[in-house]
Amino acid sequence: MKSVQKQAPWGLARISQRQTINFGIPNKYLYADRAGEGVDVYVLDTGINTEHVDFEDRATWGKTICRGDEDKDGNGHGTHCSGAIAGKKYGVAKMAKVIGVKVLRDNNFGSFEDVARGIAWATRSHLKNVKDKKRGFKGSVINMSFGSKKSHALDRAIHRAVKAGIHICVAAGNENADACDYSPANSKLVVTVGATTADDSLAYFSNYGKCIDIFAPGVNIQSTWIGSKRAVKTISGTSMASAHVAGLMAYFLSLQPELGSDFAVSSMTPSKMKELLFSVATKDAISDLPEETANLLAYNGGGSSDFPSFSDSSIYPISVTDETSFKSDPNPSPMALSWKDVIEKNVQAIVKKVGKDIKTLVVSADLTST
Give catalytic residue positions. 45, 77, 239
Say what the alpha-carbon torsion angle 95, 97, 98, 99 is, to the nearest 10 degrees: 180
DSSP E strand boundaries for 182-248:
191-196, 214-217, 221-224, 232-235
DSSP 193: E
What residues form DSSP beta bridges with 183? Answer: 148
Q: Classify residue 339 as exposed, middle or buried by CB count within 10 Å of its CB (0-12, 13-18, 19+).
A: exposed
Secondary structure (DSSP) of 179-192: GGGSBTTT-TTSEE
Exposure of 241 in the CB half-sphere (CA atoms within 13 A): 34
CB 142 within 8 Å of CB 120: no
Q: Say whether the peptide bond before residue 9 is cis (omega within 30 degrees of 0).
A: no
**What is the C-alpha radius of gyration for the chain, rounded to an integer number of angstroms?**
22
